[in-house]
Amino acid sequence: MNPLKLRKCLLGRCALLATLLLSGCSTVTRDGPAPIRPQPEKAAKTYYELGVAYMKNGRYDLAELKLQRSLEKRPSPDAYNALALLYETQHENALAEEIYQTLIAKYPAYERGYSNYNFFLCKYDRQSQIEQLARQMAAQGGRVATVGRIAAGDCAMRKKAINRAEMHYKEALKYDPHVAGALLPLAEIDLERGNVAEAKIKINQVHNYVGYSARSVYLSILVSRELGDELEERKMKSVLRSQFAGSPEAKEIFRN
């Protein structure tokens, strides 16, 4: 090729290349990479999970920091609940109570918060606050009201206040007539008082509407023994052995 033509060709290619390069550069300069958007929900979840992990490992100092960071990023009932439990574990009772109260004020439908707060109050026998909390939960109606009465009843049972427990469990049945958390302890109370037929009715309600549990089957075995119903006792023992073999109830029944 003629040297002059070659030179013109090369210059043309260089110009084309320069145009492409400049075009690419101008595109990057004009648009740039997509900005990184903050993800507070993801960050909050990560901090929460770290906080719970540190709690399990006994690193309460780090757990507190991570849970607080989670709440800063995006408040959630789980993070408040974990922080309250953390303070309770450390016997920082004033802080624990403050967080529990904040939790149920911000998230009035969060059942676990009520239950844990109730357990906290029960631990220190704060009966007037337990009754107040049960009324507060009753005002929510539905499932929250049921859980509130059951929690108050469970606390009374732990304190051997049987009549008070019975009252709370019966109140729970007004919201949910088939809830096992109220029917089974009422059946236990009936058994203690010798009202075996009443206990059987309540246990059968649970089995018909809810299903079997280790506790319900255990109580059914005790009722069958009291009534001399060997066939039903064998049947319930078979259920306990096949479905709930590792439960404390199974160990109690089959320990001999």
- What are the pLDDT digits (tens) for 60-108? 999 999 999 999 999 999 999 999 999 999 999 999 999 999 999 999 9
Q: Please report where in the chains the tokens 């009465």 appear, as a residue.
A: 149
Note whether residue 76 is domain-resident. yes
**Pick from 176, 210, 228: which residue ends a domain?**
176
Find the CATH number of the domain harbouring 77. Answer: 1.25.40.10
User: Does 162 share its domain with 205?
Assistant: no
DSSP character for 33?
S
**Pick from 107, 135, 158: which residue ends a domain?**
107
- Tens of pLDDT, residue by residue over 105-125, are 999 999 999 999 999 999 999
Tell me the average pLDDT of the chain: 88
Cβ neighbour number for residue 179 with a 10 Å cutoff: 21
Cβ neighbour number for residue 22 with a 10 Å cutoff: 10
- Tens of pLDDT, residue by residue over 6-41, are 344 444 444 443 343 344 444 444 566 666 677 888
User: Residue 195 and residue 202: Cα distance in Å, rounded?
Assistant: 11
Note whether residue 113 is domain-resident. yes
Domain extent for 101:
42-107
pLDDT of residue 21: 37
Q: Looking at residues 144-151, what average pLDDT do you find?
A: 94
User: Does 97 share its domain with 118?
Assistant: no
Note whether residue 144 is domain-resident. yes
User: Does 198 share its domain with 126?
Assistant: no
Q: 23-53 burial, b if ≥16 CB within 10 A, otherwise e?
A: eeeeeeeeeeeeeeeeeeeeebbebbebbbe
pLDDT of residue 37: 74
Q: Looking at residues 138-145, what average pLDDT do you find?
A: 90
Find the CATH number of the domain harbouring 212. Answer: 1.25.40
User: Does 88 share its domain with 137?
Assistant: no
User: Residue 253 and residue 234: Cα distance in Å, rounded?
Assistant: 12
pLDDT of residue 252: 95
User: Does 50 share its domain with 79?
Assistant: yes
pLDDT of residue 129: 94
Note whether residue 97 is domain-resident. yes
User: Does 166 share its domain with 211?
Assistant: no
Note whether residue 8 is domain-resident. no
Residue 39 tokens read as 């993800």
User: Does 191 share its domain with 250?
Assistant: yes
Q: How many structural domains compose the chain?
A: 3
User: Does 194 share its domain with 256?
Assistant: yes
Note whether residue 55 is domain-resident. yes
**Pick from 55, 83, 107: which residue ends a domain?**
107
pLDDT of residue 140: 87
User: Residue 73 and residue 245: Cα distance in Å, rounded?
Assistant: 44
Q: Looking at residues 166-187, what average pLDDT do you find?
A: 97
pLDDT of residue 36: 67
23 vs 234, more confident: 234
User: Does 172 share its domain with 187?
Assistant: no
- Tens of pLDDT, residue by residue over 190-201, are 999 999 999 999
Note whether residue 17 is domain-resident. no
User: Does 202 share its domain with 256?
Assistant: yes
36 vs 186, more confident: 186
55 vs 29, more confident: 55
User: Does 183 share its domain with 206?
Assistant: yes
